[in-house]
């Protein structure tokens, strides 16, 4: 078996978190650019995924720290759902995504990396965004600069969602 060296994953695998990173982002609005927060609504916010599957992968996160969607009030759930819908439209129409995966991993056993704070994943899909390296080496190739796509997405979302 061959192994590919992917040192950027080491930080994620070995990190010991103290507190919820989503709550930290919510509580520190003055650090939005540093934390890659894309947009803030009344009940939730959009933030780039620090370990994205594809360029432009971000999340819709409620301000309230809850571990189950059934604990969300109706206003928050509706706002999240509308932001997901609008985000998909933006990714397709303004960023040129050919498709979009949306989803939630609810609980550790469902694959949630941060199971204590529910969140939607919004994953734009591009032609040829997966290839043999993903299939046989369990490694993703991120084909664009993270900060560049953050700035572009933030500008588009601010215009489209305000």
The predicted pLDDT at position 52 comes to: 84
Under the banding of pLDDT at 50, 70 and 90, the label for residue 13 is very low
Question: What are the residue ranges spanned by the domains of the chain?
Answer: 18-161
Helices (H) and strands (E) in the chain, counts: 6, 5
Checking 107-111 for CB contacts under 8 A at 24+ apart, the result is: 107/67
Residue linked to tokens 């604990």:
71
139 pLDDT higher than 80: no
The predicted pLDDT at position 53 comes to: 81
Instruction: From the candidates 36, 57, 65, 119, give the one annotated as an active-site residue.
Output: 119
The predicted pLDDT at position 71 comes to: 97
Average pLDDT in the 124-144 region? Answer: 58
47 pLDDT higher than 80: yes
The predicted pLDDT at position 132 comes to: 46
Under the banding of pLDDT at 50, 70 and 90, the label for residue 133 is very low
Q: Which CATH class is domain 18-161?
A: alpha beta
Is 119 in the active site? Answer: yes
Q: First vs last Cα of the chain: how many Å apart?
A: 51
Separation between Cα atoms, residue 87 and residue 95, nearest integer Å: 10
State the DSSP H helix or E strand holding residue 35, giving kind and residue range, or none if neither: helix 32-35
> Strands, DSSP E only, in the chain?
37-40, 44-48, 58-62, 99-103, 120-125
Chain centroid to Cα 145, Å, comes to 16
Average pLDDT, the chain: 85
Question: pLDDT of 74-102, one tens digit each?
Answer: 999 999 999 999 999 999 999 999 999 99
């Amino acid at each position: 078996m061959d192994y590919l060296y992917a040192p950027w994953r080491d930080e994620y695998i070995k990190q010991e978190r103290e507190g919820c990173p989503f709550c930290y982002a919510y509580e520190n609005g003055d650090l939005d650019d540093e934390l890659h927060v894309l947009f803030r609504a009344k009940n939730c916010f959009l933030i780039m995924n620090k370990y994205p599957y594809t360029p432009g992968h971000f999340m819709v996160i409620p301000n309230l720290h809850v571990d189950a969607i059934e604990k969300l009030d109706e206003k928050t759930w509706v706002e999240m759902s509308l932001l997901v819908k609008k985000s998909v439209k933006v990714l397709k129409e303004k960023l040129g995504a050919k498709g979009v995966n949306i989803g939630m991993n609810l609980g550790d056993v469902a694959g949630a990396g941060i199971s204590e704070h529910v969140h939607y994943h919004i994953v734009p899909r591009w032609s040829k965004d997966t290839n043999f390296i993903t299939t046989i080496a369990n490694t993703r190739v991120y084909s664009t600069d993270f900060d560049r796509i953050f700035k572009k997405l933030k500008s588009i979302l601010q215009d489209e969602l305000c």
